[in-house]
């Protein structure tokens, strides 16, 4: 689930609650399983966790086409009604086609919006970006649910937005999403969902949106016989409801709350003043329908229905700062609802009740009372806005520790209204209510005295003044000397103050300095210029300050906040806040400096950058799709050419014909190479080329490529000198495909530009890097040509292209590949002398224990050095010994010849397979590819059926699945492509879903590998492929009649079970082994635990070979040995699975 809140459905992993948690808890109880949550920061991480088996399921996602292709979905648990959120209700007069819409990329909302008539549509995977577009006014409308509309509103209180219901919008079903292979869990969940208990509860929760149905509103109006919901509230119920002394208007946060509900729903509220009447009597007599400000403990449940509370009042205890001898307590009860609490307090101490805030605070300041129990929000607001604080907060005794929940009440004959009001409250957040309350919790106190008190004070002042006059005259002469000295000091201090003030005024940032009591003592000119222009309604005669200062001081240091809309110049602007504590160096007083910088322009640039990034991502996706199409369309005919020429080569007998075909094959390979170069360059330009680092045998990967170029050099009459410095590093982590590609480019250039002389290749490999040097004695390059050698499409001159061919991309691609691998390429050349290219690539080398035959010996000096190193003998490697060698030493062949127990049978293998069983179903829409596959499979002696597309293949399997043992499908076909065909097959019941499916494509290997893994494809055959490649692929997945006729250990364990149990047990084992194969092929899975699990299963089934392999794996001393044994385990699992599968099919046919 999302780690953070997904209001109002989900409260986060730390404290799970909300609608989704309730549904999942009920589901878990009905299934008798334990529910555990894991939190993830994004939807992509949740998807990855599902596919990696980190989690079993997730909830809250709609079944879209893209999600359905990757995951399985349960039956729906809840249905949410969709609404249209319009940013400004004034836009409703315009046609829908004029609105600027936003929607989530790939969701149903985009299709629905188009169906409604939307023409201006922006989509993205980033819902936060879409919400930001609506908030900033750059988009007008979106499809959402009433409970999610908050994220599209920047200021819910002052929003001009509008909720629109449209019958064409419909609803969305929310299901549990699982991994494709988790079919058993999906079945259990669906059974639980169908149970009455969960079904009824889900229905009740799904009705939470009934309050936005027009039909429900019409029903309510019909029952109440009114067009609006009438309400009233007690008079002088500050801050719930009161009359503004300036405007004479009725205000209060209860009225604001009902205004907010009107914006979020279809309901209309009408205020009816009480005018001295009892509000409960007005409700009982039908004058009003609702009392929205009623305290929960003050409700007669016999005649009233109460909604859940939407807020509560907490109380704080104030204590005077003056000294007192006797404690005198007062309670503020402006609505007369604290009677029961006051009676309880009187048990412990006397108490006076006030119903006016100003009178109570006046009494506290005047000494008439010493303590006061007051609404905590009033206290907090007074502390924030008042500079003169004559009281302090005190600890409350336990008998004063209470709160008063606030609710809405209706008559007991209005259950429908009660039900709908309760649901309305569920879509109002506590934060919204607090914002409304804070707008009305401002208290201003006026202090004064009566006339008699003023006269008495005046008489005393006159008498005292006469006495003081005499004393002042006497002190005048004494103080005059002190005044002269102080004047000099003050002049100096004033000069420093003026200098500091001028300095701060010259700064562009707004600066605000306050004392420890939050009283403003200094503001610079920039601050004054901004605040003087503020005309927000918060300014009054009593408080002529915009609340911007308070808002800024309440922010964390180094934070950025947006000042809400208050109808002044600061509205909706972004500011960065920095706080600094200042201590006076002499008397130690503490002040606080707040520096405010306007970053609105930077924020706007950031938003524009995000939008630009969105457009760039779309462009990259389009380019990626284009490359995939071009790759497939170009490589497919080349693959067909090479395959057909390979078949033709088998039938030629005349040397002249053989030579002509050989040249044609070379031309086709040259064309393939140039197409690959162009596609690789396009990927590099689009930053889409990736490096695939894996562990490989250095010798096996590099030596075959080098030998092929040695043959080409000899045919051209050139000497090919190869030297690989002997090394104990046999295996290493590197990208073998790209290293061979670079080597091929370098040697191809060397052969191309060298007419006579030699080509030298030197290789040095150690634990950290691989260094390859290619030196030729060819035509060389001028300094100008050398400077352009890495530029794409640039060759020495036009004659080079005509004479030698090529695209001019080889060196550019090589340089980019080397840099992607973190390496370096250096080139030096001299005209008519030759060229030397040196590449250095970082690797992680691995020493592998090699069992060398002690009796094996060779005449070649360099070969002896290799053998001595592998045997662990000390030897001195001398480069000059190469001069004594007559032939190049390739360490892969040397190692193969020198290893103990090496199979020396090198007899050629027949192309035809021995006694294959069953048919191979081939799906391909290209006629040439069909002809090629038909001839190739005929040569291999395999029965086959060829169809034109995936749909035909699927229909054939539905009718004759018993004939087919494997499927080879093209990945790009009309009607149903290879990936869709695979997904359809894998979703079928046993044993059809166990049929091996082999993809055949010319598309980029990494892209196809990802798609194949998602849909469940067993393997991929990449074009162009050789006949031997096809033979090995078919051999891997098609069972042999010879092997099947043996009553071997793979199926012998089935004899221990009854006939009715054999089919069920066989299907279970096939399913289990299929999952284990997938896990072992996944580099991110824990291979040790998987093989340990296989060991237990194979031992239980008495499959001896598989059990021995798992034991060898656990006893292996090196990771290299484990890697080899793991591949043997996978092969044995496939053999066992195929044997059982064939046995199952024969049982069905019988």
Last residue of a domain, one of 405, 439, 464: 405
CA angle 727, 733, 734 (to 5 degrees): 100
Whether residues 669 and 786 share a domain: the answer is no
**By mean pLDDT, which of 544-558, 605-619, 1045-1059, 1070-1084 is the weakest?**
1045-1059
Q: Which residues of 879-890 are buried (b: 16+ CB within 10 A; e: fewer)?
A: eeebeeeeebbb
- Tell me the β-bridge partners of 122: 102
Position 906 scores a pLDDT of 39
Question: Which of 1102 and 709 is assigned the larger pLDDT?
Answer: 709
Last residue of a domain, one of 812, 846, 880: 846
CA separation for the pair 267, 230 (Å, rounded): 11
Whether residues 1085 and 1031 share a domain: the answer is no
CA separation for the pair 1014, 823 (Å, rounded): 33
In a domain, 588, yes or no: yes
Domain encompassing residue 1117: 1052-1148
Dump pLDDT digits (tens) for 866-877.
888 887 775 555
Position 474 scores a pLDDT of 61
For the ranges 535-544, 545-554, 765-774, 984-993, the maximum mean pLDDT occurs at: 765-774
3-state helix/strand/coil string of 820-868: HCCCEEEEEEECCCEEEEEEEEECEEEECCCCECCCCCCCCHHHHHHHH
Position 688 scores a pLDDT of 60
Task: Say whether pLDDT at 444 is over 60.
Answer: no
Whether residues 126 and 111 share a domain: the answer is yes
Report the length, in residues, of the chain. 1150
Position 802 scores a pLDDT of 47
Query: What count of Cα atoms within 13 Å lies in the side-chain half-sphere of residue 271?
Result: 19
Position 628 scores a pLDDT of 62
- Confidence class of residue 199 from pLDDT cuts 50, 70 and 90? very low
CA separation for the pair 646, 1028 (Å, rounded): 11
Position 789 scores a pLDDT of 86
Instruction: Answer for the pair 1112, 1125: CB distance below 8 angstroms, yes or no.
Output: yes
Task: Say whether pLDDT at 197 is over 70.
Answer: no
Q: What is the mean pLDDT of residues 241-257?
A: 86
- CATH number where 350 lies: 3.40.190.10
In a domain, 490, yes or no: no
Whether residues 558 and 592 share a domain: the answer is yes
Dump pLDDT digits (tens) for 627-646.
666 666 677 777 777 777 87
Residues with Cβ within 8 Å of 583's Cβ and at least 6 positions away in sequence, in order, are: 589, 590, 591
Q: Which helix (H) or strand (E) holds 193?
A: helix 183-194
Parallel, antiparallel, or unpaired for β 719-724 and 758-765?
parallel
CA separation for the pair 431, 419 (Å, rounded): 23
Q: Which helix (H) or strand (E) holds 591?
A: strand 590-598
Position 489 scores a pLDDT of 44
Q: Which helix (H) or strand (E) holds 562?
A: strand 559-562
Cis bond upstream, residue 260 (ω within 30): no
Whether residues 1022 and 1091 share a domain: the answer is no
Whether residues 1007 and 923 share a domain: the answer is yes
Q: How many CB atoms lie within 10 A of CB 821?
A: 21
CA separation for the pair 223, 382 (Å, rounded): 45
- CATH number where 136 lies: 3.40.190.290
Position 843 scores a pLDDT of 93
Q: What is the mean pLDDT of residues 582-595?
A: 76
For the ranges 52-56, 162-166, 1073-1077, the maximum mean pLDDT occurs at: 52-56
Q: How far is CA 997 from CA 788, 971, 1038, 1071, in A?
A: 48, 11, 11, 15
Whether residues 534 and 682 share a domain: the answer is yes
Position 373 scores a pLDDT of 92
Q: Which residues of 933-970 are buried (b: 16+ CB within 10 A; e: fewer)?
A: bebbbeebebebbbbbbbbbbbebbeeebeebbbbbbb
Dump pLDDT digits (tens) for 648-705.
877 777 777 776 777 677 667 767 766 776 666 666 666 666 787 888 889 988 998 8
- Tell me the β-bridge partners of 85: 142, 163
Of 126, 133, 104, 101, which Cα lies nearest the Cα of 115? 101
CA separation for the pair 1069, 1144 (Å, rounded): 12
Of 192, 279, 242, which Cα lies nearest the Cα of 355? 242
Whether residues 618 and 718 share a domain: the answer is no
Whether residues 975 and 1096 share a domain: the answer is no
- Confidence class of residue 924 from pLDDT cuts 50, 70 and 90? very high
> Mean pLDDT for the chain?
78
Dump pLDDT digits (tens) for 948-980.
999 999 999 988 766 788 999 998 888 899 999
Position 72 scores a pLDDT of 92
Instruction: Answer for the pair 338, 363: CB distance below 8 angstroms, yes or no.
Output: no
Task: Say whether pLDDT at 46 is over 90.
Answer: no
- CATH number where 1021 lies: 3.40.50.2300
Task: Say whether pLDDT at 720 is over 80.
Answer: yes
CA angle 363, 365, 369 (to 5 degrees): 45
In a domain, 636, yes or no: yes
Position 1045 scores a pLDDT of 42
CA angle 510, 512, 518 (to 5 degrees): 155
Position 213 scores a pLDDT of 47
Task: Say whether pLDDT at 102 is over 80.
Answer: yes
Provide the 3-class DSSP secondary structure of residue 343: helix
Instruction: Answer for the pair 316, 360: CB distance below 8 angstroms, yes or no.
Output: no
Percent of the chain surpassing pLDDT 70: 75
Position 806 scores a pLDDT of 54
Position 901 scores a pLDDT of 45
CA separation for the pair 124, 140 (Å, rounded): 16
Dump pLDDT digits (tens) for 342-390.
888 998 899 999 988 888 888 988 889 999 998 887 777 776 666 567 7
pTM for this structure? 0.38
Q: Tell me the Ramachandran region of residue 506: left when phi exceeds 0, alpha when psi lies from -120 to 50, beta otherwise.
A: alpha
Burial of 854 (0-12, 13-18, 19+ CB in 10 A): exposed
How many domains in the chain?
A: 6
Q: What is the mean pLDDT of residues 926-948?
A: 89
In a domain, 1046, yes or no: no
Position 494 scores a pLDDT of 55
Question: Which of 1027 and 490 is assigned the larger pLDDT?
Answer: 1027
φ and ψ at residue 407, rounded to 5 degrees: -140, 180
Question: Which of 481 and 198 is assigned the larger pLDDT?
Answer: 481
In a domain, 184, yes or no: yes
Of 52, 47, 40, 49, which Cα lies nearest the Cα of 10? 40
Position 245 scores a pLDDT of 80
In a domain, 562, yes or no: yes
Whether residues 95 and 146 share a domain: the answer is yes
- CATH number where 1141 lies: 1.20.120
Dump pLDDT digits (tens) for 511-531.
888 887 778 888 888 888 777
Question: Which of 289 and 166 is assigned the larger pLDDT?
Answer: 289
Whether residues 760 and 668 share a domain: the answer is no
Q: How many CB atoms lie within 10 A of CB 785?
A: 16
Whether residues 1019 and 1067 share a domain: the answer is no
CA separation for the pair 484, 488 (Å, rounded): 7
Question: Which of 1115 and 903 is assigned the larger pLDDT?
Answer: 1115
Question: Which of 413 and 921 is assigned the larger pLDDT?
Answer: 921
Last residue of a domain, one of 148, 180, 201: 201
What is the sign, positive or negative, of the torsion defined by CA atoms of 571, 575, 581, 587? negative
- Confidence class of residue 333 from pLDDT cuts 50, 70 and 90? confident
- Tell me the β-bridge partners of 371: 319, 329
Instruction: Answer for the pair 2, 40: CB distance below 8 angstroms, yes or no.
Output: yes
Task: Say whether pLDDT at 391 is over 50.
Answer: yes
Q: Which helix (H) or strand (E) holds 560?
A: strand 559-562
Dump pLDDT digits (tens) for 424-437.
777 677 777 887 88
- Confidence class of residue 409 from pLDDT cuts 50, 70 and 90? very high
Position 641 scores a pLDDT of 79
Task: Say whether pLDDT at 617 is over 70.
Answer: yes
Task: Say whether pLDDT at 402 is over 60.
Answer: yes
CA separation for the pair 359, 443 (Å, rounded): 12
Question: Which of 1057 and 967 is assigned the larger pLDDT?
Answer: 967
**By mean pLDDT, which of 176-180, 594-598, 716-720, 877-881 is the weakest?**
877-881
In a domain, 400, yes or no: yes
Q: How far is CA 1113 from CA 313, 401, 1096, 1108, 1124, in A?
A: 68, 68, 14, 9, 9
In a domain, 152, yes or no: yes
């Amino acid at each position: 689930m999302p780690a953070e809140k997904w209001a109002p459905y989900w409260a986060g992993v730390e404290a799970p609650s909300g609608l989704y948690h309730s549904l999942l808890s009920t589901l878990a109880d009905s299934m008798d399983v334990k529910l555990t949550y894991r939190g993830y920061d994004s939807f992509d991480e949740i998807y990855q966790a599902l596919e990696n088996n980190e989690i079993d399921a997730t909830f809250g996602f709609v079944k879209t086409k893209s999600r359905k292709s990757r995951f399985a979905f349960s039956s729906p648990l809840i249905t949410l009604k969709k609404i249209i959120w319009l940013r400004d209700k004034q836009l409703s007069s315009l046609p829908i086609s004029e609105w600027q819409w936003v929607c989530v990329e790939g969701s149903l909302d985009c299709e629905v919006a188009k169906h409604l008539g939307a023409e201006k549509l922006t989509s993205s995977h980033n819902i936060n970006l879409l919400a930001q577009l609506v908030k900033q006014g750059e988009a007008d409308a979106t499809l959402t649910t009433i409970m999610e509309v908050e994220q599209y509103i920047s200021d819910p209180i002052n929003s001009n937005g509008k909720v629109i219901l449209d019958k064409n919008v419909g609803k969305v079903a929310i299901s549990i999403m699982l991994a494709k292979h988790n079919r058993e869990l999906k079945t259990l969940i669906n059974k639980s969902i169908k149970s009455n208990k969960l079904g009824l509860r889900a229905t009740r929760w799904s009705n939470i949106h009934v309050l936005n149905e027009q039909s429900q509103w019409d029903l309510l109006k019909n029952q109440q016989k009114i067009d609006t919901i009438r309400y009233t509230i007690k008079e002088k119920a500050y801050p719930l409801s009161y009359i503004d002394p300036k405007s004479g208007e009725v205000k209060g946060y209860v009225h604001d709350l009902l205004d907010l509900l009107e914006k979020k729903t279809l309901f209309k509220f009408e205020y009816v003043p009480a005018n001295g009447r009892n509000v409960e009597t007005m409700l009982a007599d039908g004058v009003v329908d609702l009392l929205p400000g009623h305290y929960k403990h003050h409700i007669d449940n016999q005649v009233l229905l109460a909604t859940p509370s939407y807020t509560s009042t907490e109380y704080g205890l104030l204590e005077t700062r003056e000294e007192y001898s006797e404690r005198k307590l007062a309670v503020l009860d402006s609505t007369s609802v604290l009677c029961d609490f006051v009676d309880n307090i009187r048990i412990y101490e006397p108490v006076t009740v006030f119903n006016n805030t100003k009178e109570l605070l006046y009494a506290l300041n005047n000494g008439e009372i010493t303590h006061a129990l007051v609404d905590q929000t009033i206290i907090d607001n007074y502390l924030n806005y008042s500079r003169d604080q004559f009281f302090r907060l005190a600890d409350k005794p336990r008998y004063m520790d209470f709160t008063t929940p606030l609710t809405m009440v209706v008559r007991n004959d209005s259950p429908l209204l009660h039900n709908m009001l309760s649901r309305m409250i569920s879509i109002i957040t506590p934060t919204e209510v607090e914002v409304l309350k804070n707008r009305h919790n401002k208290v201003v106190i006026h202090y004064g005295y009566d006339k008699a008190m003023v006269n008495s004070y005046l008489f005393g002042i006159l008498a005292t003044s006469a006495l003081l006059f005499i004393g002042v005259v006497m002190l005048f002469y004494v103080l005059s000397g002190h005044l002269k000295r102080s004047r000099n000091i003050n002049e100096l201090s004033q000069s420093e103050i003026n200098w500091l003030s001028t300095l701060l005024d010259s700064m562009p940032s707004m600066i605000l300095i306050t004392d420890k009591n939050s009283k403003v003592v200094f503001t610079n000119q920039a601050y004054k210029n901004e605040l003087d222009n503020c005309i927000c309604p918060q300014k009054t005669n009593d408080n002529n300050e915009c609340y911007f200062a308070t808002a800024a001081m309440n922010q964390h240091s180094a934070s950025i906040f947006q000042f809400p809309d208050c109808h002044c110049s600061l509205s909706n602007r972004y500011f960065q806040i920095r706080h600094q504590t200042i201590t006076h160096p002499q008397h130690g007083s503490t002040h606080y400096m707040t520096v405010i910088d306007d970053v609105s322009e930077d924020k706007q640039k950031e938003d524009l950058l995000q939008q630009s990034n969105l457009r760039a991502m779309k462009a990259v996706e389009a380019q990626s799709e284009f490359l995939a199409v071009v790759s497939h369309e170009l490589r497919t005919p080349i693959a067909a050419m090479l395959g057909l020429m390979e078949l033709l080569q088998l039938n030629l007998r005349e040397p002249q014909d053989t030579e002509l075909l050989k040249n044609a094959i070379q031309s086709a390979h040259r064309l393939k190479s140039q197409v690959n170069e162009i596609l690789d360059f396009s990927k590099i330009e689009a930053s889409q080329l990736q490096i695939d680092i894996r562990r490989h045998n250095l010798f096996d990967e590099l030596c075959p490529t080098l030998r092929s170029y040695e043959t080409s050099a000899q045919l051209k009459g050139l000497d090919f000198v190869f030297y690989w410095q002997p090394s104990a590093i046999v295996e290493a982590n590197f990208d073998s495909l790209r290293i061979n590609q670079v080597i091929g480019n370098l040697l191809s250039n060397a052969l191309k530009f060298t007419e006579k002389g030699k080509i030298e290749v030197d290789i040095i490999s150690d634990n950290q890097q691989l260094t390859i040097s290619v030196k030729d004695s060819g035509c060389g390059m001028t300094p100008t040509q050398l400077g352009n050698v890495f530029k794409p499409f640039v060759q020495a001159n036009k004659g080079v292209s005509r004479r030698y061919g090529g695209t001019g991309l080889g060196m550019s691609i090589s340089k980019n590949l080397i840099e992607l691998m973190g390496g370096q390429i250096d080139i030096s050349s001299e005209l008519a002398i030759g060229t030397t290219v040196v590449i250095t690539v970082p690797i992680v080398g691995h020493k592998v224990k090699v069992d060398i035959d002690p009796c094996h010996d060779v005449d070649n000096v360099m070969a002896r050095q290799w053998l001595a190193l592998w045997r662990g003998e000390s030897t001195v490697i001398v480069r000059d010994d190469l001069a004594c060698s007559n032939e190049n030493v390739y360490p892969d062949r040397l190692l193969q010849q020198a290893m103990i127990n090496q199979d020396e049978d090198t007899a050629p293998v027949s192309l035809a397979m021995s006694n294959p069983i069953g048919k191979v179903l081939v799906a391909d829409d290209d006629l040439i590819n069909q002809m090629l596959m038909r001839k190739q499979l005929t040569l291999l002696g395999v029965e086959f059926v060829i169809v034109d597309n995936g749909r035909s293949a699927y229909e054939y399997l539905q009718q004759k699945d018993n004939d087919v043992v494997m499927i080879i499908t093209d990945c790009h076909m009309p009607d149903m492509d290879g990936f869709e065909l695979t997904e359809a097959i894998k979703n079928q019941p046993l044993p059809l879903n166990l049929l091996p499916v082999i993809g055949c494509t010319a598309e980029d290997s990494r892209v196809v590998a990802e798609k194949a893994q998602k849909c469940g494809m067993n393997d991929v055959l990449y074009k162009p492929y050789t006949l031997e490649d096809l033979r090995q692929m078919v051999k891997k997945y098609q069972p042999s009649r010879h092997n099947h006729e043996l009553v071997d250990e793979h199926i012998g364990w089935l004899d221990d079970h009854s006939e009715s149990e054999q089919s069920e047990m066989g299907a279970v084992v096939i399913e289990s082994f299929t999952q284990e194969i997938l896990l072992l092929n996944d580099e991110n899975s824990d291979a040790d635990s998987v093989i340990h699990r296989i060991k237990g299963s194979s031992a239980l089934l008495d499959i001896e070979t598989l059990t021995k392999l798992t034991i060898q794996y656990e006893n292996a001393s090196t990771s290299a040995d484990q890697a080899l044994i793991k591949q043997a385990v996978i092969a044995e699992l496939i053999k066992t699975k195929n044997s059982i599968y064939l046995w199952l099919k024969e049982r069905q046919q019988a």
